[in-house]
A and B are shown apart, each in its own frame.
Chain A
Amino acid sequence: MSHADRLNARQTKQHVYWIERDSIGIALYDASKNEKQLFTSVSAVHQITLFYHKKALHFGVNASGDSTLASTTLMAEQSELPSQFHGYLVDKAISMGYETKPDMIKMAPYFDSKFEKGIKEGKTFANRGRISGRRRIVQHSF
């Protein structure tokens, strides 16, 4: 493709997003406008879908953010994390418990190392995307 073709095919208007002050900014970028009007707020109603990594819902809090500490179903709550990682949360809680006891502090690193093993497994699980077999590494030139 020649340089002229590339220039002609260039999209001059497109929506963009960015993150600022714990918010997502969405604007229309128009390369043909002057510097002050390069970005304009969206003038119509558009449906936006965000795809993101998130923290698991806390124990004692429901999906609406209300406390369930006094609820009768509290003890039956389960972490949103896949079940194979639940034990590692217990290991970390035990480790943090030992960290507050000066006479037992030597026990903390043992349980912390178990949690670190869980972190490693969790990263592998997240990277694999639940697909078996070898991972394909795509090369990029920068």
Chain B
Amino acid sequence: MKLQEMIEQVQKHHPDLGNVEIIKLLNQASDEFCSRTLVLDEATQFNTVANQRFYGLKDSILEIKSVDMKDEEGNVKSIKRLQGRPEYRDIT
């Protein structure tokens, strides 16, 4: 369904609402739907930087399912999640 049709359907009930307000409501609904159902999956790739420990995550990421790493021989394998965090902190 295109945005135009969605806006028209909302305006049948709320003719006083403008397009921008309806878009905000639809975006809120979409965020709630995605976070409660976890229906959308995606994968993304990046390269590590030598001696850098942390890499920022996009706001759109809700839950990380798994992480793969390519080793020196070119093999890609899943890496394990650490429970908690290292006792000695390095914030680089």
Contacts and interface: CB of A to CB of B under 8 A. Distances in A.
A83 B1 contact: yes
Given A54-B40, A55-B62, A96 B68 contact: no
Nearest to B87: A35
Interface centre among A50, A87, A98 (most CB of B within 10 A): A50
A108 B66 CA distance: 39
A90 B4 CA distance: 11
Interface in B44-92: 44-72, 76, 79-88, 90, 92
Contact of B53 (A41, A74, A79, A119): A41
B29 A48 contact: no
A45 B34 CA distance: 33
Nearest to A92: B29
Contacts of A39: 86, 88, 90
A16 B4 contact: no
B39 A125 contact: yes
A77 to B, nearest CB: 5
Nearest to A77: B3
B63 A52 contact: yes
A38 interface: yes
Interface in A39-94: 39, 41-60, 69, 74-83, 85-90, 92-94
A116 to B, nearest CB: 9
Contacts of A137: none
B2 A41 contact: no
A82 B39 contact: yes
Given A45-B49, A46-B47, A23 B17 contact: no
Contact of B85 (A25, A55, A90): A25
A60 B23 contact: yes
A50 B31 contact: no
B10 A97 contact: yes
A35 B62 contact: no
Interface of A: 14-27, 29, 35-36, 38-39, 41-60, 69, 74-83, 85-90, 92-94, 96-98, 107, 115, 118-119, 122-123, 125-126
